[in-house]
Amino acid sequence: MTFSITGPNGSLTCAGGNVVKLKKNVATQGAVTCYLPAGSLTDPAAPGSTDYSVTATYDGDSNYDSSSSTYTQTVVPAVP
């Protein structure tokens, strides 16, 4: 699974890189997670909510077709 995350400050990188191996055990059901370092989703130039474009791509294998999906994630600052 490959993640591509872009926001107002350019591209972001998942902790450990943007290519994440699928886990093949029953508990995870083939799920993957992209962890971003704390503070990486902030934009000092725009202190309000910020939109990020997230694309997840699976290249496919002998059992499953390739797939790609893009969505917009809005990050809103915490209220103190």
- On the question of pLDDT at 30 being above 70, the answer is no
Q: Is the pTM above the cut of 0.85? A: no
Q: Rounded mean pLDDT of 43-71?
A: 83
Amino acid at 26: V
Using CA atoms, how far residue 74 sits from 55, 60, 64, in Å, is 14, 29, 30
Neighbours of 62 (CB within 10 A): 4
| pLDDT exceeds cutoff 70 at 46 | no
Query: Confidence band (pLDDT; 50, 70, 90) for 26?
Result: low
